[in-house]
Chain A
């Protein structure tokens, strides 16, 4: 799979200057790309555009051979549900649900069966060392554990595309290592992984980098 953007531009309705302008780039399957740039450079905006949560003001986004920038909401939602895993800066978990149910929600929405969702979710929680917290609610786990649960949620549907927006911003270096390793593993298994981050040391070691300027 491949994501190709051409002259991509985004201007928020209330804003004068574009949050992202004239970006052209190709993201290949099996690569982990680090996106850097100062605050306000448009890193998050780019991820939301690529994840089809925003419609670009100009330019095109192609998933393989399909132009996806102008699709109807229902089609975007379906593509997102099928192919995209997203790790947000804050874990963004449902406070009323257990860790397991939080992870399962992404599986349900992708169209997985309940048992399938549940078993994959438990597997991932175990793999990232939070299996014992499966029945805990977000208010009962640490910040690092919450972010690992969010990571499991992004991976539960075996997505071909993974976006992460400063996934390690709030984590200690050990938890951050776990998350980075997981993202690298997903890329080596064939996914397109795109990470927006301020962690320039880690990005410096990546073969694929994209620097945004405000």
Chain B
């Protein structure tokens, strides 16, 4: 018993046939989708890619750093600030350092003199050590090559100065943004000691929250005269980037919309032409029992297939193009959205021709030899 409803296999076989017969509209539709997609990548995609690069630069460790300094040494910034600030949400880590002191090898009088500082708080990820990230009071870590300068053959030994004595237990190497600490000796200290901080570095988890976190940090500091402190952030850079992003978003949206619309219209015109050329075939199918929805589906499958091939290739070429020009591919979400929107545009443009095809009168068509 016949069901009267074509199986999915019919649509697949029919679609494959109709992509090849006629061939020219298929190729042109694919080219339109391809050109529209690459055009988006060549304009908006480029901007997105370079914006992405700017954002990555701003979101670098350097860009996410708040530096609280006491340039005259008169503000009275307490080491307790380190603990208080570490607990603020949005703070990745906080570390404080005291003023520099000259120290030398306690065992060799008159040996080389190096700079040492007290360091407060857990050692941040930017500082790599041979000793873990906790430095107890009285323990010290030497910067690269410093142990040798001090004459410690095993890398360990005691150091001392008038105000400070400690045991060097290992070494460290500081990466961005704390590279300036390399070449010094870091001495563990308790945040409850009575010394003062020279600098408090605070790293923010997300550059987008830089301003809010800076405000929170400023008000949480344990300090005698806050007016004497200097607080540096990359906030100007961050502000600039959000302005750029907002402006880009508006003009890009406009351009992308225009391109999608153009693709939809062009593919719609192509499909209208195709439907006229296929009128006899559509009338015959209808007479053989194809319903209107079958005809609509066939047209949309054709448009979707052209869109997927064209937009797929366009996305591939576009991503490569943007990478070649900016050294940075646009974010995946952008590339994927462009591809999907282009396929939807091809489908949207084909709705009117599909409806027209479904409304063709098979009787009129069959009467014409």
State the A residues within 8 Å of B (CB): 44, 48, 51, 53-54, 73-74, 77-84, 86, 88-90, 92, 94, 96-97, 101, 105-106, 108-114, 153, 157-158
Task: Give the CA-CA distance A158 to B1 in the complex, in Å.
Answer: 9
Question: Which of the residues B2, B22, B293 comes within 8 Å of A83, measured between beta carbons?
Answer: B2
Most buried by B among A82, A86, A105, A109: A109
State the B residues within 8 Å of A (CB): 1-7, 9-10, 13-14, 17, 21-22, 280-281, 284-294, 362-363, 366-367, 369
**Would you call B10 and A109 a contact (CB within 8 A)?**
yes
Task: Give the CA-CA distance A133 to B293 in the complex, in Å.
Answer: 33
Contacts of A48 in B (CB 8 A): 363
**Would you call A81 and B2 a contact (CB within 8 A)?**
yes
**Would you call B363 and A53 a contact (CB within 8 A)?**
yes
Contacts of A92 in B (CB 8 A): 280, 284, 287, 366
Contacts of B13 in A (CB 8 A): 108, 114
**Would you call A94 and B281 a contact (CB within 8 A)?**
yes
**Would you call A74 and B367 a contact (CB within 8 A)?**
no
**Would you call A109 and B288 a contact (CB within 8 A)?**
yes
Given contacts A97-B17, A110-B4, A111-B3, contact A77 B369 (CB under 8 A): no
**Would you call A109 and B369 a contact (CB within 8 A)?**
no
Task: Give the CA-CA distance A111 to B294 in the complex, in Å.
Answer: 12
Contacts of A153 in B (CB 8 A): 288
Q: List 23 A-B contacts (CB under 8 A).
A: A48-B363, A53-B362, A54-B363, A73-B291, A77-B286, A77-B294, A81-B5, A81-B288, A83-B2, A88-B287, A90-B369, A92-B280, A92-B287, A92-B366, A96-B17, A96-B21, A105-B288, A108-B14, A109-B288, A113-B7, A114-B10, A153-B288, A157-B2
Question: Which of the residues A44, A79, A86 comes within 8 Å of B287, measured between beta carbons?
Answer: A86
Q: Which residue of B lies closest to A117 (CB)?
A: B10
Given contacts A53-B363, A96-B17, contact A111 B287 (CB under 8 A): no
**Would you call B9 and A114 a contact (CB within 8 A)?**
yes
Task: Give the CA-CA distance A73 to B362 in the complex, in Å.
Answer: 12
**Min CB–CB distance B277 → chain A (angstroms):** 11
**Would you call A111 and B2 a contact (CB within 8 A)?**
yes
Contacts of B288 in A (CB 8 A): 80-81, 86, 105-106, 109, 153
**Would you call A73 and B292 a contact (CB within 8 A)?**
yes
Contacts of B4 in A (CB 8 A): 77-83, 110-111
Task: Give the CA-CA distance A77 to B294 in the complex, in Å.
Answer: 10
Contacts of B281 in A (CB 8 A): 94
Task: Give the CA-CA distance A96 to B3 in the complex, in Å.
Answer: 27
Interface of B is mostly: helix
Contacts of B366 in A (CB 8 A): 88, 92
Question: Which of the residues A73, A79, A109 comes within 8 Å of B285, measured between beta carbons?
Answer: A109
Question: Which of the residues B7, B17, B293, B369 comes within 8 Å of A111, measured between beta carbons?
Answer: B7
Contacts of A82 in B (CB 8 A): 1-4, 289
Contacts of B290 in A (CB 8 A): 77, 81, 109
**Would you call B9 and A77 a contact (CB within 8 A)?**
no
Contacts of A101 in B (CB 8 A): 17
Question: What would 14 more interface pairs be, CB under 8 Å, given A92-B284, A105-B285?
Answer: A53-B362, A74-B291, A77-B290, A81-B291, A84-B289, A89-B369, A92-B280, A96-B21, A106-B289, A108-B9, A109-B288, A111-B4, A111-B6, A114-B9
Task: Give the CA-CA distance A68 to B166 in the complex, in Å.
Answer: 102
**Would you call B6 and A109 a contact (CB within 8 A)?**
yes
**Min CB–CB distance B96 → chain A (angstroms):** 77
Task: Give the CA-CA distance A92 to B1 in the complex, in Å.
Answer: 26
Contacts of B293 in A (CB 8 A): 74
Contacts of B17 in A (CB 8 A): 96-97, 101
Contacts of B1 in A (CB 8 A): 82
Q: Which residue of A lies closest to B367 (CB)?
A: A44
**Min CB–CB distance A9 → chain B (angstroms):** 16
Task: Give the CA-CA distance A74 to B292 in the complex, in Å.
Answer: 7
**Min CB–CB distance A105 → chain B (angstroms):** 6
Task: Give the CA-CA distance A96 to B23 in the complex, in Å.
Answer: 11
Task: Give the CA-CA distance A53 to B292 in the complex, in Å.
Answer: 12
Q: Which residue of A lies closest to B21 (CB)?
A: A96
**Min CB–CB distance B3 → chain A (angstroms):** 3
Task: Give the CA-CA distance A108 to B10 in the complex, in Å.
Answer: 6
**Would you call B363 and A78 a contact (CB within 8 A)?**
no
Task: Give the CA-CA distance A96 to B6 in the complex, in Å.
Answer: 20
Contacts of B3 in A (CB 8 A): 82, 110-111
Task: Give the CA-CA distance A168 to B287 in the complex, in Å.
Answer: 19
Task: Give the CA-CA distance A158 to B284 in the complex, in Å.
Answer: 19
Most buried by A among B287, B292, B363: B287
Task: Give the CA-CA distance A123 to B285 in the complex, in Å.
Answer: 22
Chain A to chain B: the 10 pairs with minimum beta-carbon distance, closest first: A81-B289, A111-B3, A82-B4, A77-B291, A96-B21, A78-B4, A110-B2, A108-B10, A81-B4, A80-B289
**Would you call B292 and A77 a contact (CB within 8 A)?**
yes
Contacts of A89 in B (CB 8 A): 369
Contacts of B7 in A (CB 8 A): 108, 111, 113-114
